[in-house]
């Protein structure tokens, strides 16, 4: 029987050949990222059978406890991507500094950033988690690669996306001309295009925020959530629903699919931090996919995207 389904490989080849959106190096790089996500998906799926559950007993650069799967996912992404010749360096939530492609491999012109396993607190309780990634071009004009090369605003991303490991494994990708969703066909071992030109719904009645932090919020955030809670009788004249998975990748995937707002606002506990989430490998890439389909050829700038002052700068809100 002829299979008319469109694989990720074919989608990317057509983005390169027919639409001229991406150079072949970027296409190959994205294929490698997707392959790494597939491996992570299999590791996540094994659960207790894979000796990958529980804490690794170490902390990451943010001072958060690392899970074994955080480390496995990080290593999987590095090992898959370091030898291909498309990358100059990588940066990850789980690594203190940037990872420069070793001399034994050719150096490419792209930079890859990732949160290898977002929503780590959900790993051991079998709730959806995911990988987030963002691709930048290394600035020209100087040899080697430095931390500062990564500090580019969100609208400079040349590709961005995420993979949700849930009841299905779904890869969402944008190369700046519409978001596309792919579902992993486990029998064939390939990602199959399941939705194209994904746009978020403009209207919504759902919000996502960790309500247990309410007493720490600033007054405007509190007022906004109070208005949502007041429902049809309140100033917004509408009933709102709340969801909080505690995996941003899954919360934002829901919002991309059916609309809503996701917030992790600044709060009084750590006043020097603008919010819990990281701008470069969480907010910028996640903020780019819902805005896909804009006239921009690049991943379109989300409200969160701005000039970054460090790879771990934080950002706090994403909406439909």
Q: Which residues of this protein are in contact with Mg ion, per CB under 5 A?
A: 115, 118
CB nearest ligand AHM: which residue?
A: 248
Residue 120 binds ligand AHM, judged by CB under 6 A: yes
Residue 217 gets which letter from DSSP? B
Q: Alpha-carbon torsion 184, 185, 187, 190, what sign?
A: negative
Residue 119 binds ligand AHM, judged by CB under 6 A: yes
Which of 210/294 has CB closer to ligand AHM? 210
- Do residues 92 and 281 make contact, with C-beta atoms less than 8 angstroms apart? yes
Q: Which of 28, 53, 71, 246 binds ligand AHM (CB under 6 A)?
A: 246
Helix (H) or strand (E) holding 135: strand 129-137
Strands 206-208 and 241-242: parallel
Residue 121 binds ligand AHM, judged by CB under 6 A: yes
Residue 64 contacts which entry, Mg ion, ligand AHM, none (Cβ below 5-8 A, type-dependent): ligand AHM
Q: Which of 210, 257, 294, 312 binds ligand AHM (CB under 6 A)?
A: 210
Residue 124 binds ligand AHM, judged by CB under 6 A: no
How is the beta sheet containing 206-208 ordered, strand by strand?
241-242, 206-208, 261-263, 317-319
- Do residues 240 and 122 make contact, with C-beta atoms less than 8 angstroms apart? no
Which of 159/252 has CB closer to Mg ion? 252
Residue 64 binds ligand AHM, judged by CB under 6 A: yes
Report the distance separating Cα 239 and Cα 236, nearest Å. Answer: 8
CA-based radius of gyration for the chain: 19
Which of 100/246 has CB closer to ligand AHM? 246
Report the distance separating Cα 37 and Cα 182, nearest Å. Answer: 12
Contact code string over 69-98 relative to ligand AHM, x by CB under 6 A: ------------------------x-----
Tokens encoding 9: 């490989």
- Do residues 316 and 266 make contact, with C-beta atoms less than 8 angstroms apart? yes
Residue 31 contacts which entry, Mg ion, ligand AHM, none (Cβ below 5-8 A, type-dependent): none
Which of 11/162 has CB closer to ligand AHM? 162
Name the residues that contact ligand AHM, by CB under 6 A. 64, 93, 115, 118-121, 210, 246-248, 264, 276
């Amino acid at each position: 029987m002829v299979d008319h389904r469109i694989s990720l490989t074919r989608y990317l080849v057509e983005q390169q050949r027919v639409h001229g959106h991406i150079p072949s190096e970027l296409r190959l790089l994205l294929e490698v990222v997707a392959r790494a996500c597939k491996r992570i998906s299999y590791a996540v799926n094994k659960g207790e059978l894979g000796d990958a559950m529980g804490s690794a007993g170490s902390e990451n650069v943010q001072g958060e406890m690392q899970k074994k799967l955080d480390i496995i996912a990080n290593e999987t992404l590095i090992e898959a991507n370091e030898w291909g010749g498309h990358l100059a360096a990588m940066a990850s939530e789980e690594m203190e500094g940037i990872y420069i492609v070793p001399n034994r491999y050719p150096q490419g012109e792209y930079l890859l950033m990732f949160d290898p396993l977002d929503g780590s607190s959900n790993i051991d309780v079998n709730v959806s988690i995911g990988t987030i990634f963002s691709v930048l071009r290394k600035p020209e004009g100087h040899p080697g690669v430095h931390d500062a090369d990564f500090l580019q605003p969100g609208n400079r991303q040349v590709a961005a996306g995420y993979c949700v490991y849930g009841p299905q494994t779904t890869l969402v990708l944008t190369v700046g001309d519409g978001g596309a969703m792919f579902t992993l066909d486990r029998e064939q071992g390939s990602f199959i295009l399941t939705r194209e030109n994904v746009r978020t719904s403009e209207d919504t009645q759902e919000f996502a925020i960790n309500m247990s932090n309410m007493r720490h919020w600033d007054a405007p955030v509190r007022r906004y959530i109070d208005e949502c809670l007041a429902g049809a009788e309140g100033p917004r004249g509408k009933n709102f629903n709340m969801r909080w998975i505690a995996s941003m990748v899954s919360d934002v995937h829901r919002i991309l699919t059916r609309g809503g707002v996701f917030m992790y606002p600044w709060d009084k506990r750590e006043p020097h931090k603008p919010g819990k989430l990281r701008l470069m490998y969480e907010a910028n890439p996640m903020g780019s996919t819902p805005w896909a389909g804009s006239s921009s050829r690049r991943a379109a700038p989300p409200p969160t995207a701005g000039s970054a002052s460090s790879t771990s700068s934080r950002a706090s809100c994403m909406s439909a």
